[in-house]
Amino acid sequence: MRRMTADVVVIGGGSTGSGIVRDCAMRGFSAILVERGDLAHGTSARYHGLLHSGGRYVVSDPESAHECAEENDIIQRIHADAVEATGGFFISLQGDDLDYADRWVEGAITAHLPFQEISVAELFRREPRINRRAVRVMEVKDASVDGWQMTWGAVRSAQQYGAQILTYTQVTGFEVDQGQLKAVQCLDRKTGEDLVIDTPFAINASGPWAGQISALAGCQPVEVVPGRGVMVAMAHRLVNSACNRLIKPGDGDLVVPAHTVCIIGTTDVKVDDPDDLAMPRNEVQQMLDAGEVLVPGFRQSRAMRAWAGARPLVKDSRVASSDTRHMSRGMSILDHQSRDGISGVLTISGGKLTTYRLMAKNIVDVMCEQLNDPRPCRTDSEAVPGSESGRTYSVTHRLAEREADRLRDPIICECELMSRQMFIDLLADIAEPSLDDLRRQLRLGMGPCQGGFCSLRAAGLTCQIGHFSPDRATAALRLFLKNRWIGLWPVLYGDQLRQAALDNWIMAGTLNVERLPQSEEEVL
């Protein structure tokens, strides 16, 4: 058993937890973040990639809209390398409720949301594939944000301020003595070793898993209703700005460009278990139909992949629990001292990725109050490592980089232009990574071929440089291909089915990967 000590333990390595650990560290607390899997491998990356301008909420919740607008500016500044400043549009189509557009304009003015109405001709000039039935268009500051990149940026900043980040570390229990938290018990899932962190304070930021974690502390049940959202990524940027329908927010009313693809989202279905997110065909079909409304010809375009995320909504007795969209989208902070008589434990849930920094500030403020140790938040004033220049992400940046180094550095993943050196550098940085851990930071295998060519090269490289045994490299390759299939098969039609046939000719036909001997090592 290993022992560590900290002022505060943050549970959950999504955007919220990463923001909290950064905030704590910047305020001078010694902080440890524990995450069951890899950073941002849950809800924070399984979403549509929109950095909200606030436009989506101006009618239903102007306060939320205002918060989004403010945070949007801050995120673009402190996380420049994770944000592509695409801009966005809210578009009324013929047949839409035009009163809603008027109410939207009023709401935007009330919320102090920067916007301007532009002509339909201007919209078509900038987004030629948008439905020609557009009648009114509002331009807003929506942007596209990479959830992994943003979370990693926050974590790297936290590390610079002395925080420790423990991934693949699962919370197994809490030591509470006379109503006061004493320690958080964990399991290192990679080594199997137990870990106890002596700490007077823990913040539960595990999102849809918040109920499971608070139960371990012996709290009264925290009812989290995971709302499953299915998203579909198309293999091209059918739009270059975030394109929203100017209607009451609903399913699939939004297409967001992200890197070389674009994403349509999303559905909203109440589920029981955030670890078991199916992608039913009818929901995929619903997204394709919705895409067709915004971008005619959507169904003829190549779908690349689908995924499902679980919204971390805290149950609110005021609304029917089957309708998660109308629950509060704001954050909830549960104080387990007043609620359950356990001091030193807070749970945060709900909220939006766009406002992750503000949520972190709010809960760390609560912690400071409880500790009677007021320290100001500084997270809005400093860019995270990698974003110091203030230059936002550009989709062509890797093309420029590969143009510069192509004669000396082989390209391992052609779809995403990932070089050999990028892969080797990160490999040296992570203890016992899976290929998916590397993928989340490098985009390995995330393009149209979904690993058909690059996964063999990546597995081979881990082995060639002596980092993995052949046994482990093979296990990693198998796991990677299996995980790619999860998001592929729900949208396997058209050209992506054609690609899958080619990939099978390679993996099964030429290489006979399926008949390799089983590995003894297990890759998490």
Partner 1 sequence: MSRAIVIGAGLGGLASAIRLARQGLDTTLISQGLGGLQLSQGTIDILGYDPEPVTDPLAAAGRLAPPHPYAVIGSAPVAAGVDWLSQLLGPELLVGQTSANTWLPTAVGALRPTALVQPSMVAGAVQAEAAWAIVGLSRLKDFSAALVAGNLNRTELPGGGRLRCRPLVIDLMARAGEADSSGLVFARALDRPEVQDRLIAALGPELAEGESVGLPAVLGLEDLTVYDRLAQALGRPVFEIPLPPPSVPGLRLNQALLALAKAAGVRFVNGAAVVGFEAAADRVTAVMTAAAGHPRSYPGEVFVYAPGGFESGALAMDSYYQVKETVFDLPLHGLDDVEQLITGDYAAPQAIFAVGLGVDAAMRPVDLSGNVVYENLHAVGSILAGAIPWHEKSGEGIALGSAWAATQAIQEELK
What residues make contact with partner 1 under the rule CB under 8 A?
Answer: 281, 285, 288, 299-300, 303, 406-412, 420, 453, 456-457, 459-461, 463-464, 466, 469-471, 473-474, 477, 481-482, 485-486, 489, 492-494, 497-498, 500-502, 504-506, 508-517
Number of H helices, E strands in the chain: 15, 24
Residues with Cβ < 8 Å from 182, sequence gap 6 or more? 175, 176, 198, 199, 200
Cβ proximity to partner 1, 134 vs 262, nearer residue: 262
Cβ proximity to partner 1, 112 vs 406, nearer residue: 406
Angle made by CA atoms 275, 277, 278, in degrees to the nearest 5: 145
**Shortest spacing between CB 307 and partner 1, in angstroms:** 13
**Shortest spacing between CB 129 and partner 1, in angstroms:** 17
Residues with Cβ < 8 Å from 251, sequence gap 6 or more? 266, 267, 268, 286, 287, 290
Cβ proximity to partner 1, 288 vs 348, nearer residue: 288
Cβ proximity to partner 1, 318 vs 515, nearer residue: 515
Pick from 6, 47, 78: nearest CA to 377 = 78
Cβ proximity to partner 1, 175 vs 405, nearer residue: 405
Kindly state the DSSP code that residue 522 receives in the 8-state scheme: -
Cβ proximity to partner 1, 173 vs 494, nearer residue: 494
**Shortest spacing between CB 44 and partner 1, in angstroms:** 24
Yes or no: say if 257 and 237 are a contact pair by the CB < 8 Å rule: yes
Yes or no: say if 148 and 441 are a contact pair by the CB < 8 Å rule: yes
Cβ proximity to partner 1, 50 vs 413, nearer residue: 413
Cβ proximity to partner 1, 322 vs 512, nearer residue: 512
Cβ proximity to partner 1, 272 vs 520, nearer residue: 520
Residue 310 backbone class (left: φ over 0; alpha: ψ -120 to 50; beta: rest): beta
Task: Dig out the tokens for 144 from the structure.
Answer: 């596209």
Give the whole-angstrom CA distance, residue 459 versus residue 325. 42
Cβ proximity to partner 1, 207 vs 274, nearer residue: 274
Give the other-Cβ count within 10 Å of 179's Cβ.
12
**Shortest spacing between CB 473 and partner 1, in angstroms:** 6
Kindly state the DSSP code that residue 45 receives in the 8-state scheme: T
DSSP E strand boundaries for 40-98: 50-51, 83-84, 88-93
Yes or no: say if 56 and 266 are a contact pair by the CB < 8 Å rule: no
**Shortest spacing between CB 506 and partner 1, in angstroms:** 5
**Shortest spacing between CB 38 and partner 1, in angstroms:** 20
**Shortest spacing between CB 134 and partner 1, in angstroms:** 23
Helix runs in 197-280, H state only: 210-216
Yes or no: say if 114 and 141 are a contact pair by the CB < 8 Å rule: yes
Give the whole-angstrom CA distance, residue 321 versus residue 315. 7
**Shortest spacing between CB 261 and partner 1, in angstroms:** 17
**Shortest spacing between CB 93 and partner 1, in angstroms:** 21
CA distances from 318 to 189, 321, 323, 512 (A): 39, 9, 11, 57
Yes or no: say if 68 and 350 are a contact pair by the CB < 8 Å rule: no
Cβ proximity to partner 1, 140 vs 412, nearer residue: 412
Pick from 120, 143, 61, 63: nearest CA to 392 = 143
**Shortest spacing between CB 269 and partner 1, in angstroms:** 18
**Shortest spacing between CB 490 and partner 1, in angstroms:** 8
Residues with Cβ < 8 Å from 102, sequence gap 6 or more? none
